Amino acid sequence: MRRSTIVLLAVAAFIVGAAAALAVFPAARERVLPDAVRNVGAAAIGGPFTLVDQTGRTVTEKDFHGRVMLVYFGFTNCPDVCPAALQVMDAARERLGAQANRVASVFVTVDPERDTPAVLSDYLTSFPGTIGLTGSVEAVRQAAAAYRVYFKKSKDDGSSASYTVDHTSIIYLMGPDGRFISHFTHASSVDSIAAKLATLL
């Protein structure tokens, strides 16, 4: 081949490769959420954490052993997805009536810099059955990693002072032994969650 042909082929290959990378990347990002559950496997979801609840008390995963746990990672400034998740978790738990205290409904912040215990305490007055957990950035990062939760600060509104946090929206259902059983999302029905909880009590 002539040198100019080789250069043209190299340029064409680069363009095709770049286009493919751009096409694949957004799809891969969209898939972060379901893949967290599908690919990692049940055994790998959940694990040790040491955080602080909304009263300032240190809490670890062992404090929930013996109870069924619904756990969701989000942040108090989230406009709609997090409140929707906490709403269905709270309502599903209430459906259980006298058995409700056998289920721990847990909200772990992915924004510990803003979500202090006091901020969580205030926020959770809207979801009174929920335990709020926060901690150091590192402690939260470890807890999120244990649950295969993705989160990232986002400042795409152009303001440097305010930010939002992109995050996985999965409600994990953990058994009394701390093992992963199933998962829901903020869009799951209260009926479906309550029915699953009832089978475990």
CB-based contacts of 159, cutoff 8 Å, min separation 6: none
The residue (of 64 and 107) whose beta carbon lies closer to Ni ion is 107
88 binds Ni ion (CB under 5 A): no
Pick out residues in 117-146 that bind Ni ion (CB under 5 A): none
Q: How many CA atoms lie within 13 A of 78 on its CB side?
A: 28
**Among 60, 80, 78, residue whose Cα is nearest residue 69:** 60
Among 82, 119, 120, 181, binds Ni ion (CB under 5 A): 82
CA distance 88 to 95: 10
What angle (nearest 5°) sits at the alpha carbon of residue 92, between those of residues 40 and 188?
A: 50
CB of 27 to Ni ion, least distance (A): 22
Q: Which stretch binds Ni ion (CB under 5 A): 31-39, 59-67, 77-85, 107-115?
A: 77-85
84 binds Ni ion (CB under 5 A): no
The residue (of 74 and 112) whose beta carbon lies closer to Ni ion is 74
Q: Which stretch binds Ni ion (CB under 5 A): 16-24, 67-75, 144-152, 192-200?
A: 67-75
The residue (of 68 and 165) whose beta carbon lies closer to Ni ion is 165
78 binds Ni ion (CB under 5 A): yes
81 binds Ni ion (CB under 5 A): yes
CB of 81 to Ni ion, least distance (A): 4
Q: Which residue is nearest to Ni ion (CB)?
A: 78
Q: Which stretch binds Ni ion (CB under 5 A): 73-81, 87-95, 99-107, 141-149?
A: 73-81
CA distance 57 to 168: 26
User: For 51-115, where are the alpha helices, taking DSSP H only?
Assistant: 81-95
Per-residue DSSP letters for 17-82? HHHHHHHHHHHHHHTHHHHHHHTT-GGGS----EEEETTS-EEEGGGGTTSEEEEEEE-TT-SSHH
CB of 114 to Ni ion, least distance (A): 13
How many CB atoms sit inside 10 A of residue 3's CB? 7
74 binds Ni ion (CB under 5 A): yes
User: By the 8 A CB rule, do 96 and 200 touch?
Assistant: no
CB of 77 to Ni ion, least distance (A): 8
Residues at the interface with Ni ion (CB under 5 A):
74, 78, 81-82
